[in-house]
Amino acid sequence: MTRQQLSTMSRRVAVTVIATGVLLAGVAGAPRPADAHSPNPVFAGGLFAQNADLRFRWGAGGTPPTVMQTAIRNAAAGSNASRKSKAPTFTYDAAGGNTVYYGVDVPCGINGLACFRRDAPTWFGIWIRPNGHRYDWGTLRWCEMTGYPNGCYDAENIVLDEFGHVHGLDHHVNFADESDYEDAVVQTYARVKPRAGWDAHLFGRCDVATLQQQYDVATWSTLYSTCLGIDTTTTLTASDTSVVEGTLVTFTARLASDGTGRLAGNPMSGRVVVLQVRSGTAWADVLTMGAGSTAGSYVASLTIRTSADYRAVYRRTTTEGTRGSVSPVVAIKATVACYRLCPLSILPADR
Amino acid sequence: MPKITTAILSVLATLTLAACSAGGLPSPEPPGTPTPTVPVTSVPTGPAASAPPEVTPQPTPRPTEVPGPPVASLGGGAAGPVAGELGTFFWGGLGSDSPWIVPTTHLAAAPGATLTVTLDPAGAPERWTAAWAPVRNGAAGGVDAVGEGEGSSVTLTAPGQPGSWGLLVEVHFPGGQRAAWYWSVVVAP
């Protein structure tokens, strides 16, 4: 969101936001660009351990109805399935050390649907208001308990939001028109059926982006969230750079993330890395390199006929939030093979 | 005259209700908080913000009152200030999630009127965001605009287009604490 877009948006509905007091109206009236369409912010207070196995039980006197138990377990499963990182997993366990409570006696403030506390890395609690609770502005209807009428709230979605908070996710900062609302489940306000996003049961890409930043990707082949824009580094080596024509040369490329924190220097496996050869002033694809023996490595073998420059290319794809990269050039010098008497000019001593 | 009296009483009632409700948040104690030893026969009360299972039974911690978000009021309309409905907040280690609330009590304002949000206690807000959304059939529709700023109080301009509007103001305080409030604003010439 640019300053200009925000300004335009403000004019459209005659909204002028001005801070008073110390700040003059003219100064604060210019909205600051928001961090829209970026990974969710993070709560202060630390994280749980990577891949922590967080078990929860029903709170004393607050066992949910069966249908809500299912929704809560499904939310836990949805978190586990969509975290795409080493964020903790959630599992129901009657002997678990964390609690999920459903009932009247909740500390969620006057209008909360659900709330949480987290004391990372040791404990969390989640509280859920009961179906039928009467607010000043209406009656709470959980979709799962009322047959999914319009105006209901999807408990699985709301509890997934709470699990996201337990991970450490703060609310996503949306574009001014909220066109990116569905990029995150962890939102400032929950949407009611049938508004878009009301029944999201998996973390959105900007939830995942923060989980990856904070906990690291799940495996070296896990794709980086498209809510990110991670630089990458590609390198290339050859088994020999000066060979007789007809020699088989093995090229090894290494691809790594070049982000910050957890996302710095991670090997990246399972991607498409292409070996290219210089052709005049351009580069031509030779072949797609196969998986190497170590994480983030890619190999290809070529029978060298002539001297040429080679490089490895990792191209940006739309399915991953990484930027492409190109390795430095590796020059391979090929000399003519001798089948009878070699001319003196190519004797090893003259090389 | 009776209508005015009713309106005033309504506003006062809303303010009182909000003040009571937002003044304190029950705060269950997480495990690790020293708890007195209790007989095995004690009956737990309060919410289930309980400790992990222990060999020695412990009571489910009782809620304790901690200061909650301030009361926010919107003024500048035809009538007196109207208390906002507290929505999503993160305060004192407790995070609560709410929907976009469309309060039943509304503030009447002229198109383009200057509206001011005041907080009690005022605290020391670091920054804030605001969003307007048209209200149709009692529900807020898509957000039409947002703004944000910094400072100790918030002044907004009511939409120029007559109709029912929902207003969300989220204020960020030091220490990562923040709260959102909602109002209904009826804009009429």
- Quick check: ipTM above 0.90? no
Among A13, A116, A136, the residue with its CB nearest the CB of B85 is: A136
Which chain B residues contact residue A97 at CB under 8 A?
Answer: 31, 51-53
Question: Taking a contact as any Cβ pair under 8 Å apart, which residues of chain A between 117 and 146 contact chain B?
Answer: 117, 119, 122-123, 125, 127, 135-137
Which chain B residues contact residue A123 at CB under 8 A?
Answer: 30-32, 51-52
Tell me the Cα Rg of chain B: 20
Digit-by-digit pLDDT tens for chain B (189 residues) are: 344 344 333 433 333 333 333 334 444 444 433 333 222 222 233 343 343 433 333 334 434 445 789 999 999 867 779 999 999 999 999 999 999 999 999 999 999 999 999 999 988 899 999 999 999 888 888 787 667 888 877 888 899 999 999 999 999 999 889 999 999 999 998
B95-131 residues labelled b (16+ CB within 10 A) or e (exposed):
bbbbbbbbbebbbbbeeebbbebebeeeeebbbbbbb
Q: Which of B14, B16, B45, B146 to mutate to test the interface with A (most CBs of A within 10 A)?
A: B146
- Give per-residue pLDDT as tens, A124-164: 999 999 999 999 999 999 999 999 999 999 999 999 999 99
User: Is the CB of residue A185 less than 8 Å away from at least one CB of chain B?
Assistant: no
Q: What is the pLDDT of residue A166?
A: 98
Among A106, A165, A178, the residue with its CB nearest the CB of B143 is: A178
Digit-by-digit pLDDT tens for chain A (351 residues) are: 333 333 333 333 332 222 222 222 222 223 333 445 799 999 888 999 999 999 999 999 999 999 999 999 999 999 999 999 999 999 999 999 999 999 999 999 999 999 999 999 999 999 999 999 999 999 999 999 999 999 999 999 999 999 999 999 999 998 888 889 999 999 998 899 999 999 999 999 999 999 999 999 999 999 999 999 999 999 999 999 999 999 999 999 999 999 999 999 999 999 999 999 999 999 999 999 999 999 999 999 999 999 999 999 999 899 999 999 999 999 999 998 776 555 555 555 444
A161 phi, psi to nearest 5 deg: -55, -45
Q: What is the pLDDT of residue B152?
A: 76
Q: What is the pLDDT of residue A178?
A: 86
Phi/psi region, residue B158 (left: phi>0; alpha: psi -120 to 50; beta: rest), is beta
Q: Do B89 and A109 touch (CB under 8 A)?
A: yes
- Taking one residue from A and the other from B, the number of pairs with CB-CB distance under 8 angstroms is 243
Q: What is the pTM of this model?
A: 0.81
Which chain A residues contact residue B160 at CB under 8 A?
Answer: 13-14
